[in-house]
Amino acid sequence: MFEITTTRHNPLIDPSLAVWSWEIPVYLFAGGLVAGMMILGGLAMLRAARGDDPRTYFSLHTPLLAFVLINLGMGALFLDLAHKLYVWRVFLTFQPGSPMSWGSWVLIAVYGALLASALIRLPQAWPWLGQRVPLLQRLSDWLLASAGRVKALGWANIALGTGLGIYTGILLNTMVARPLWNSAILGPLFLVSGLSAGAAAMHVASIFLPRRPPPQGMIGGAVSALCQQLGDEPPERRTVDGLIRADLLFLAVELVLLGLLVVNLQTSSASHIAAAALIVSGPYAWAFWGVIIALGILVPLALQGLELGHRIPHTILPALLVLVGGFALRWVMVNAGQASHIVHAAGL
């Protein structure tokens, strides 16, 4: 027999840690999504700087959408803070040992890169704003006048997107007290999941492309600027196929990394094996196998494979499923991670 009883009764701590609710999964999902969009957008900028037709790359046209999404994520994070009025304290210091401190400063740079990227096409996509603030037009012209500047912005997007994507995983990874999170695989896993979610978000956004003629006024122009139209014609088939191929690759890598995470935990200490059981066969197994693996990866892989082979028509269903799976991954990891704990040796 091994039995522990305690008189401790602190709210959100006992009987099981539950300090993070829906806000942190939303924040991590939005962060990963935007990270993916930034990397894909950055790659498109490098191609555009090399001379490719920028209209070919839809990812070039969604930085403002990414800006809105990252603000939604930051809004969720703010709601999670228990001492909200002191949030500015984060920006008075830099704590090199704290992933959250790194993330806060990276997010400042992310905001700058997203706004600069949006500026490239903002005056054309939202004429109402471009006419009233001529400075935006001049800045846009200045950015586009040099391939070197577009290239630099592209690299900035890739570097910051990679940093942001990995950060969302490392944030959990560094907490020794929660065995489910004690794997450095979480960094690349969340990054690749963010890439697949970013590609999926662009797929979904593409159906909301403004129809001809796009709205130009104050409100309609602002909304249509979120996914700036590529031109009079819909995206070329090969562009869409390219995005699907990229998503297939991301999903396959994500599946491998999830497998490695489980192997990593299952072959580690008793605490880690117990943590793995939470998602593999315990209370979170339905979400892990059913939503993350099946609905979020396997079904989209199959559907997109069939789409590429022109066996079924192209729809946004796989993209929607990828987004659901991406959020479920964060939800499961945050909640099951809090439920995991170091197993007392005497209790084995």
Partner 1 sequence: MLTSFAAPNGGAQCPTGGRAGTDMSRFGMVIDTRKCVGCMDCVVACQTENDVPAGYCRDWITTEVRGQFPAVSMEIRSERCNHCDNPPCVSCCPTGASHVAEPGHVVLVTADKCIGCKACIAACPYDARYVHPDGYVDKCTFCHHRTKEGKDPACVSVCPTHCMYFGDLDDPKSKVNELLRTRKFHTLLPEAGTRPRVFYLT
- Rg of the chain over all Cα atoms, to the nearest angstrom: 22
Q: Other CB atoms closer than 10 Å to residue 325's CB: what's the count?
A: 25
Is 212 a residue that touches partner 1 (CB under 8 A)? no
268 forms part of the interface with partner 1 (CB under 8 A):
no
Distance CA 199, CA 185 (A): 21
When binding is defined by CB under 8 A, the residue of 81, 133, 294, 302 that contacts partner 1 is 81
CB of 270 to partner 1, least distance (A): 10
Selected range binding partner 1 among 148-156, 213-221, 251-259, 336-344, rule: CB under 8 A: 336-344
**Which of 51, 97 has the CB closer to partner 1?**
97
Report whether 265 contacts 276 (CB < 8 A). Answer: yes
- CB-based contacts of 25: which residues, under 8 Å, 6+ apart? 327, 330, 331, 334, 335
Nearer to partner 1, 88 or 148 (CB): 88
Nearer to partner 1, 83 or 211 (CB): 83
Spatial distance between the Cα atoms of 99 and 90, rounded to a whole number of angstroms: 12
Decide if residue 86 touches partner 1 (CB under 8 A).
Answer: yes
Question: Nearest distance from residue 17's CB to partner 1, in Å?
Answer: 7
Near partner 1 by CB under 8 A: residue from 42, 73, 99, 214:
99
| Amino acid making up residue 304 | Q
Looking at residues 168 to 187 of the shown chain, list those that interact with partner 1 (rule: CB under 8 A): 171, 174-178
- CA contacts within 13 A on the Cβ side of 111: 9
Query: Over the range 60-78, which residues count as b (16 or more CB within 10 Å of their CB) and which as e?
Result: bbbbbbbbebbeebbebbe
Whichever of 98 and 216 has its CB closer to partner 1, that residue is: 98
CA distance 226 to 229: 9
- Could you say whether residue 146 binds partner 1 (CB under 8 A)? no
Tell me: does residue 135 bind partner 1 (CB under 8 A): no
Residue 272 near partner 1 by CB under 8 A: no
Segment contacting partner 1 (CB under 8 A): 98-106, 151-159, 276-284, 285-293?
98-106
Is the preceding omega at residue 313 within 30 degrees of 0, hence cis?
Answer: no
Residue 64's nearest CA partner among 46, 42, 38 is 38
Binding of partner 1 by 311 (CB under 8 A):
no
Residue 80 in the binding site for partner 1 (CB under 8 A)? yes
**Does 348 engage in binding with partner 1 (CB under 8 A)?**
no
Contact in structure between 332 and 290 (CB atoms under 8 Å): no
Q: Is 73 in the site for partner 1 (CB under 8 A)?
A: no
**Residues in CB range of 71: below 8 A, 6 or more apart:** none
Q: Does residue 1 belong to the site contacting partner 1 (CB under 8 A)?
A: yes
Question: How many Cα atoms within 13 Å fall on the side-chain side of residue 297?
Answer: 24
Size of the site for partner 1 (CB under 8 A): 49
Chain residues in the site for partner 1 (CB under 8 A): 1-14, 17, 19-20, 80-84, 86-87, 89-90, 92-93, 95, 97-101, 104, 171, 174-178, 269, 337-338, 341-342, 344-346
